[in-house]
Chain A
Amino acid sequence: MKIKNAALAGTMESSDIMITLEPSKEKGLVIELDSTVEKQFGRKIRRVIGDTLLEVGVDSARVVAVDKGALDCVIRARVKTAAYRAGGEECFHWGGDIK
């Protein structure tokens, strides 16, 4: 899926993460993270953002994330929402049980 425009999802409320997705000229994902739990979960959060983008077929983008302690499922949801908003009318397969 190609990122056509910049898009935003999420808020800066506690337990949420604000994801800004921008198109990038280079291949690969550049992730900038500002998190209240950087030391404990910074590494994990970056990985979840990256994995989720790859899952929805985004392999080139710039991500700015402001995290206030969001759980992984919230991060995934916000990343997918941003991708959906940035990519236009792509159809999402909702999958099923992942656990």
Chain B
Amino acid sequence: MKQLRRTMLYVPGNNPGMIKDAGIYNADCVMFDLEDSVPVAEKDAVRFLVNEALRTLDLTGKEYLVRVNALDSPLGIADLEAIVSTRKVVVRLPKTESAQDILQCEREIKRIEREYGIEPGSTRMMAAVESAAGVLNAKEIAAASPRLIGIAIGAEDYVTDLKTTRSASGVELMFGRSMILLAARAAGIDAIDTVYSDVNNEEGFREEVRLIRQLGFDGKSIINPRQISAVHEIFTPSLKEIDKALAVIEAIKEANRKGSGVIALNGKMIDKPVVMRAQRTIDLAVASKVLEKERENA
């Protein structure tokens, strides 16, 4: 089953208590942060903390990412060494402005993989776009490397770059979100939305999650475990959607059994995007526990 990324839990790397507990919540992904949530004086300390944690803790059942510092400083390069060497995480690159940033990161990762005897190409990446230039270059960024698994938008810095502020409606993010999404789809990778900081405003949070789901996003960044269940709930497909998806998969299986090349359901042709959407619906349904794995395979 494809890795779901409905929820990406931010964990500040500077907090041993939170690091050791990060795996118990049922977020699909956990992201340790070495960048903006860490004071400058502690950036060396968190590198050690996250490196040791990754080497020791039980990381099964989730995808782990680490947001490194931007590579225009020695901090970022040292972060990459500490992280890539564990062979266990996806590298999240902040403040990606252009495809060049991706390529530079890729070069560093290649070097580290060689030095540490790591399988070349096995370390994957995620790009975070946080500026106007980055948004405009999203298409090239998303397609810049086969290592990329997704592209995310970081609203705080982006909105500052636009010289405006965040609002409840999110109108200032509309273009940025759409660009990220289109770039992700064109490149065949995931699109992840930004964090919602007001942890106590549950209704406001749900509204935003419903919006980004409708836009087509694959998931949302989370800053508090309490936000996880709302996202999973909203990303749960409806029974109607599930039944439709099962019918599509069944039609494919039927056609394969008959050896038929053309596949139709209810008089309509089923082509690849339809199948992929059906499979994705089933994956979400199974992850949300509204569908049994057996039934899916039946």
Enumerate chain A interface residues (CB-CB to B < 8 A).
9-10, 13-16, 70-74, 76-78, 80-81, 84-85, 94-99
Interface size on B, residues (CB 8 A): 23
Interface of B is mostly: helix
Tell me if B173 is interfacial: C-beta within 8 Å of chain A.
Answer: no
Q: A84 and B17 in contact (CB under 8 A), knowing A77-B51, A95-B85?
A: no
Q: A15 to B57, alpha carbons, bound, how many Å?
A: 15
Q: A81 near B44 (CB under 8 angstroms)?
A: yes
Q: A97 to B53, alpha carbons, bound, how many Å?
A: 11
Q: A16 near B86 (CB under 8 angstroms)?
A: no
| A99 / chain B contacts, CB cutoff of 8 Å | 55-56
Please give the distance in Å from B21's CB to the nearest CB on chain A. Answer: 9
Q: A71 and B48 in contact (CB under 8 A), knowing A96-B87, A97-B87, A99-B56?
A: no
Please give the distance in Å from A90's CB to the nearest CB on chain B. Answer: 12
Q: A98 near B17 (CB under 8 angstroms)?
A: no
Contact of B85 among A70, A74, A76, A94 (CB under 8 A): A94
Looking at A77, A81, A85, A96, which has the most chain B CB atoms within 10 Å of its CB?
Answer: A77
| B82 / chain A contacts, CB cutoff of 8 Å | 94
Q: Name the CB-closest residue of A to B116.
A: A96
Q: A94 to B82, alpha carbons, bound, how many Å?
A: 6
Tell me if B52 is interfacial: C-beta within 8 Å of chain A.
Answer: yes
| A78 / chain B contacts, CB cutoff of 8 Å | 45, 48-49
